[in-house]
């Protein structure tokens, strides 16, 4: 991180965009802490089901787990299962 980027802070009374302009730093390159979001209860339940099925059948791929979840009544595609298996 360059020295000028360290000058930028969201705790200052001067807006971040103004600080960036004064320091000659592009606003898009300054990364400030973002708000952390937690998954919803339904999402956690789905992740738990994927985990349990994969634990029972570790040789199942994303397609078989997708079909299992669809039989359980979830509307889910293979990519979503695949992202949770990795």
Separation CA 41–CA 19 (nearest Å): 40
pTM higher than 0.85 for the full model? no
CA 21 to chain centre: 30
DSSP H or E stretch at residue 53: helix 41-56
Going residue by residue through the chain (86 aa), what tens digit of pLDDT does each one get? Answer: 568 888 888 788 889 889 889 888 888 888 766 666 788 898 899 999 999 999 999 999 999 999 999 999 999 999 999 988 87
């Amino acid at each position: 991180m360059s020295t000028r980027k360290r000058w930028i802070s969201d705790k200052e009374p001067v807006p971040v965009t103004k600080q960036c302009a004064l320091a000659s730093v592009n606003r898009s390159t300054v990364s400030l802490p973002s708000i952390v979001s937690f998954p919803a209860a339904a999402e956690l339940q789905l992740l738990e089901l994927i985990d349990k099925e994969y634990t029972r059948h570790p040789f199942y791929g994303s397609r078989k787990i997708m079909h299992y979840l669809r039989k359980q009544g979830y509307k889910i595609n293979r990519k979503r299962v695949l992202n949770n298996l990795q």
